[in-house]
Amino acid sequence: MKRSYLILTVFVMLAILGVSCATTHLNTTYHSDGRFYQPAQKYRFAVIKRSFDMADNTGSQLALVTSGLRVGDIEAVIRGHILKNGISTLNEQEYGKLKRNQKLRCLLIEWGISGRNARDKDGAYSQEVTVGITDAMSQELVYRGIGEYIGQTEIDDLRGALLAALKNFSMLPDKPDNR
């Protein structure tokens, strides 16, 4: 009985020592920039273009394949932000069924990993994401945002970077100050 108590005590002490020696990363936005190139109030629909190839064997994309990340999980961040601004997302089949006057009010959203930057001595890095939003009919740029973020996991990095890139994409009027 004493022996198992001693073994348990040693394991607990080792666990506490291991946790206290571990370095923690703070979630940090390093870069957030977004700019409108034309008014976006007329748009009511958006299609998220599938330009992210999970089979690509370059840098971050290979790591995402091995971590089991699904692109749809990350695109949900874009969908949520766009929906918050009163724009419904459609898939490509739904877009094809729209009438011409509805297609004139549709955006095309593309995103991709545009960089990876080392931020810590222990190998931690941030992900940089670029989001391009164009008019689906004219292909003219409506909004471009770049965001860089470091979180606890690579998924956190991408979600945070997407939110940073879309931070300035708001078509809702600002609330007046109640001073």
Residue 95 sits in a domain whose CATH number is: 3.30.160
Does residue 128 sit within a domain?
A: yes
> What pLDDT does 62 receive?
39
Does residue 17 sit within a domain?
A: no
Does residue 119 sit within a domain?
A: yes
Domain total of the chain: 1
> What pLDDT does 179 receive?
38
Q: Tokens 């708001």 appear where?
A: 170
Digit-coded pLDDT (tens) for 101-121: 999 999 999 988 887 776 666
Residue % of the chain over a pLDDT of 70: 61
Does residue 150 sit within a domain?
A: yes
Of 99, 85, 57, 91, nearest in space to 72 by CA: 91
Does residue 6 sit within a domain?
A: no
Residue 68's domain comprises: 39-166
> What pLDDT does 139 receive?
92
Ranges under pLDDT 50 in the chain: 19-25, 52-68, 174-179
Does residue 29 sit within a domain?
A: no
Pairing outcome for strands 125-135 and 88-90: unpaired
Cα distances from 164 to residues 145, 168, 178, 179, in angstroms, run 8, 8, 27, 28
**58 vs 61: CA distance, rounded Å:** 6
Does residue 152 sit within a domain?
A: yes
> What pLDDT does 175 receive?
42
Does residue 59 sit within a domain?
A: yes
pTM of the model: 0.69
DSSP 8-state code for residue 120 = S
Q: Which residues of 33-56 are buried (b: 16+ CB within 10 A; e: fewer)?
A: ebebeeebeebebbbbeeebeeee
> What pLDDT does 30 receive?
64
> What pLDDT does 47 receive?
93
